[in-house]
C-alpha cells in the first residue's frame, strides 16, 4: 500500500485520491495554487503516476504549461518536478506532461527504487538546510553568525555578517527569502558568501571598507510549514504593519543599527525564482544611480551561460507598496537599494551566479 504524507519540514500536500492502480491525484493545500512537497512510502519497484491540478493564476504560470488554443495541435509540455530518496540528491521525475483530459492538470510518472521518496515542485532549501550551511561557515575568521530574534512560531532568525575586522565602516545589507517558495535565493547567497570569504583583490578591497549584513531567511516559519510566500502573512508586503510581525521587527532593528553605527552604502533583497531550470537571468530593480550604471538594460545575445544581470523598470510601485524598499524610503529617505530575482538552471548555476553578484558589488564599491 502506497502512503502519502506531508508531516516533515517544508511538506505541503492536500487531499490524495486514488484514481487507479499506481495512479493518484495529488491535491494542493488551500494556501497555494501550484506548490507541493510530499513523501510517498511503500513505493519501491512501482511506477507511479501522479496527477496534480493547479489553480490558474494571472501573471504566473508556475507549471509552465502552454495552451496553444488549437486542440488539433496540443502542447503537452510542462515543468518536471523533482524526486529524492535522501532529501540531498534531487533529480527530475522520469516524465511529466500536461494531461488533456483533466483541466489545469499536470501528470508525472516515476519508477521508484527505494521504499521512501520525497517529491517536490522544486529542489527545496529548508530552514534545516540553512542552519547546516551556517554551521559550515560560522568559524571562518571573516564571518559572524548571530540570531537577531525569534519568528512568530519561536524559531531563531539568523543573520550572517561578513567583515574583515570589527571596525565600523560602510554597510551593505541584504535580506532574502521573504517568500518561502523561492529557494534559489538561498543557494545564490551561499555562492555570494563563498566569494566574499575567498575572493580576489577586488573582493578584499571591498571588505576593507564594507561589511555585509545578510538576513538569509526572513520567512522561516513559512519555509518550515511548506507554505508559499510568507505563510499566513504576505511578509514581503508587511513592512508597515503595526505592531510589526516579529520577523519584520527583527530586520528593522538591524536596519536601525546599520544607520546608527555606519554609513549605509546599499540595501537590497534577493527573491525568486520559484524553481530551477530557468535561464540564468537576474532582473534588477535598482534606484541607486551608480549601481544602475553597472547593469545592462538588455540581456546579452547569446546569454552568458553562467550569469546575466539586467535592469528592469523600478519607479512607480515603491511609493504605493508596503515592501522593504518603501519602508527604507519613507523611514530613512534612503534610495540606494535594489531587488532582484535569482534565476538559474540548477543549484550549481545559482552558486556561480552568487559569485558573479559578489564581483558586481565589488565593482560597485570601488566607484
Ligand atoms: Zn518573492
pLDDT digits 0-9 by tens, 254-275: 999 999 999 999 999 999 889 9
pLDDT per position as a tens digit, 140-152: 999 999 999 999 9
SS3 content of the chain, % helix, strand, coil (to 5): 25, 30, 45
State how far the Cα of 254 lies from the Cα of 258, in Å rounded to an integer.
Answer: 6
What is the CA(120)–ligand 1 centre distance, in A? 18
Q: CATH 2.60.40.3120: which residues of the chain? A: 3-120
What is the CA(213)–ligand 1 centre distance, in A? 20
Q: Which residues 6+ apart lie within 8 Å of 214 measured at CB?
A: 159, 160, 161, 162, 173, 174, 175, 176, 189, 193
pLDDT value, residue 100? 86
pLDDT value, residue 166? 61
Question: 3-120 sits in which CATH class?
Answer: mainly beta
What is the CA(270)–ligand 1 centre distance, in A? 8
pLDDT per position as a tens digit, 29-61: 999 999 999 999 999 999 999 999 999 988 888
Task: Indicate the range of 34-43, 59-68, 209-218, 342-351 predicted with least confidence.
Answer: 59-68
Strand partners, 41: 3, 116
| Residue in the block written with cell 544611480 | 289
What is the CA(351)–ligand 1 centre distance, in A? 18
pLDDT value, residue 354? 98
pLDDT per position as a tens digit, 301-310: 999 999 999 9
Here the cell at position 330 is 519613507
pLDDT value, residue 60? 83
What is the CA(179)–ligand 1 centre distance, in A? 5
What is the CA(288)–ligand 1 centre distance, in A? 21
Q: CATH 3.40.630.10: which residues of the chain? A: 127-366
What is the CA(185)–ligand 1 centre distance, in A? 9
pLDDT value, residue 127? 98
What is the CA(272)–ligand 1 centre distance, in A? 5
| Contact by Cβ (8 Å): 25, 17 | yes
| Residue in the block written with cell 538576513 | 215
* Pairing of the two strands 281-286 and 263-271: unpaired
Around ion ligand 1, which residues have CB less than 5 A away?
179, 271-272
What is the CA(307)–ligand 1 centre distance, in A? 19
What is the CA(89)–ligand 1 centre distance, in A? 25
What is the CA(238)–ligand 1 centre distance, in A? 13
What is the CA(315)–ligand 1 centre distance, in A? 18
% of the chain with per-residue pLDDT over 70: 98
What is the CA(165)–ligand 1 centre distance, in A? 33
Question: 127-366 sits in which CATH class?
Answer: alpha beta
pTM: 0.96
What is the CA(271)–ligand 1 centre distance, in A? 4
Amino acid at each position: 500500500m502506497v502512503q502519502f504524507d506531508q508531516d516533515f519540514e517544508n511538506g505541503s500536500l492536500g487531499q490524495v485520491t486514488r484514481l487507479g492502480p499506481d495512479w493518484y491525484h495529488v491535491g494542493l493545500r488551500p494556501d497555494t495554487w501550484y506548490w507541493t512537497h510530499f513523501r510517498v512510502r511503500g513505493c519501491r519497484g512501482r511506477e507511479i503516476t501522479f496527477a496534480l491540478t493547479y489553480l490558474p493564476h494571472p501573471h504566473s504560470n508556475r507549471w509552465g504549461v502552454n495552451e496553444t488554443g488549437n486542440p488539433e495541435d496540443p502542447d503537452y509540455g510542462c515543468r518536471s518536478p523533482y524526486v529524492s530518496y535522501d532529501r540531498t540528491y534531487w533529480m527530475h521525475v522520469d516524465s511529466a506532461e500536461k494531461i488533456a483530459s483533466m483541466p489545469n492538470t499536470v501528470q508525472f510518472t516515476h519508477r521508484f527504487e527505494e521504499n521512501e521518496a520525497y517529491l517536490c515542485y522544486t529542489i527545496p532549501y529548508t530552514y534545516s538546510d540553512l542552519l547546516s550551511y551556517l554551521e559550515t561557515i560560522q568559524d571562518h575568521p571573516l564571518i559572524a553568525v548571530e540570531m537577531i530574534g525569534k519568528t512568530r512560531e519561536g524559531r531563531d532568525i539568523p543573520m550572517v555578517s561578513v567583515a574583515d575586522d570589527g571596525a565600523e565602516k560602510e554597510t551593505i545589507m541584504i535580506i532574502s527569502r521573504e517568500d518561502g517558495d523561492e529557494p534559489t535565493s538561498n543557494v545564490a547567497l551561499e555562492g555570494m558568501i563563498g566569494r566574499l570569504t575567498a575572493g580576489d583583490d577586488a573582493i578584499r578591497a571591498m571588505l576593507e571598507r564594507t561589511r555585509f549584513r545578510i538576513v538569509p531567511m526572513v520567512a522561516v516559519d513559512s519555509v518550515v510549514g511548506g507554505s508559499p510566500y510568507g505563510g499566513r502573512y504576505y511578509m514581503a508586503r508587511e513592512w508597515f504593519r503595526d505592531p510589526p510581525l516579529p520577523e519584520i521587527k527583527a530586520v528593522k532593528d538591524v536596519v536601525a543599527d546599520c544607520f546608527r553605527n555606519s554609513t549605509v552604502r546599499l540595501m537590497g533583497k534577493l527573491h525568486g525564482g520559484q524553481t530551477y531550470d530557468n535561464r540564468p537571468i537576474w532582473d534588477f530593480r535598482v534606484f541607486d544611480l551608480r549601481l544602475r550604471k553597472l547593469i545592462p538594460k538588455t540581456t546579452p545575445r547569446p546569454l552568458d551561460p553562467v550569469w546575466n544581470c539586467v535592469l528592469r523598470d523600478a519607479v512607480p510601485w515603491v511609493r504605493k507598496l508596503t515592501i522593504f524598499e518603501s519602508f527604507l524610503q519613507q523611514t530613512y529617505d534612503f534610495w540606494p537599494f535594489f531587488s532582484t530575482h535569482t534565476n538559474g538552471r540548477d543549484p550549481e548555476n545559482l552558486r556561480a551566479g552568487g559569485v558573479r553578484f559578489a564581483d558586481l558589488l565589488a565593482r560597485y564599491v570601488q566607484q
